[in-house]
């Protein structure tokens, strides 16, 4: 989790894609009787959830099987989640004596991939592993083809507006954000390139004119 957290805290100049595998918490560690170790594990998990949200670029979860407990929490924390039809999601901790009370996990029972899609836990559903890989390639390409600074600004605002007190406040803030967006060098590069029918050469920064 610490490795994922460190790579989630990306700056706008970092490489756009990293891949990690998560098998969830190790029950042997949780049952070790070492209270400090267990506290550190859950603190790190919470920090990872925060880092995913604050990461300037979209974080994608790929599920090709069971996503349980902490693994399910990571899926819920990600910006985009793609799963195969054989995948399932659950928070089964109570069955081994530990209730899954970690924030951000919207499930209290096992659900299949179609239910996860309908509930909004996952973004896309694919037939099999190969289709999952193709879908991930398409999503990643769509993201990295865009200016990173603009994508980061959009993701940041998306989460900010969720915490605003009213719909009106969110709309006002959205207008302010778009005004700032228009000052981005990459936005102006896109317009010039579009008019000339050329591909823009992004700076991938938050630089403004």
Q: Does the global pTM surpass 0.85? A: no
Which DSSP letter does residue 148 get? H
Phi, then psi, of 37 in degrees rounded to 5: -60, -45
Q: What is the mean pLDDT of residues 41-51?
A: 85
| Sign, CA torsion 65/107/98/19 | positive
- Classify residue 46 by burial, with Cβ atoms within 10 Å: 0-12, 13-18, 19+: middle
Domain boundaries, the chain: 2-144, 148-195
Residue 98 confidence class, pLDDT cut points 50, 70, 90: low
Which residue did the predictor score with more confidence, 24 or 178? 178
- Whether residue 109 has pLDDT greater than 70: no
- Whether residue 106 has pLDDT greater than 60: no
What count of residues does the chain have? 209
- Classify residue 33 by burial, with Cβ atoms within 10 Å: 0-12, 13-18, 19+: exposed
Separation CA 27–CA 97 (nearest Å):
11
- Classify residue 186 by burial, with Cβ atoms within 10 Å: 0-12, 13-18, 19+: buried
CATH architecture of 2-144: Alpha-Beta Complex (3.90)
Residue 190 confidence class, pLDDT cut points 50, 70, 90: confident
């Amino acid at each position: 989790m610490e490795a994922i957290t460190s790579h989630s805290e990306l700056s706008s100049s970092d490489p756009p894609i990293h891949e990690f595998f998560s098998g969830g918490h190790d029950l042997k560690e949780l049952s070790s009787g070492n209270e400090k170790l267990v506290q550190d594990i859950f603190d790190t998990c919470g920090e990872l959830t925060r880092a995913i949200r604050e990461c300037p670029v979209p974080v994608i979860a790929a599920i090709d099987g069971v996503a349980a407990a902490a693994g399910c929490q990571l899926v819920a924390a990600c910006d985009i989640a793609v799963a195969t039809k054989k995948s399932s999601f659950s928070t089964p901790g109570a069955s081994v004596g530990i209730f899954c009370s970690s924030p951000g996990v919207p499930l209290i029972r096992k659900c299949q991939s179609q239910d996860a899609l309908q509930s909004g836990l996952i973004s896309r559903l694919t037939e099999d592993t190969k289709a999952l890989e193709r879908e991930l390639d398409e999503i990643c390409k769509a993201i990295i083809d865009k200016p990173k600074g603009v994508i980061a600004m959009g993701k940041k605002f998306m989460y900010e507006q969720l915490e605003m007190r009213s719909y009106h406040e969110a709309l006002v803030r959205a207008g302010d954000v778009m005004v700032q967006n228009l000052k981005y060098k990459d936005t102006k590069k896109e317009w010039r390139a579009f008019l000339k029918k050329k591909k823009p050469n992004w700076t991938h920064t938050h630089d403004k004119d």
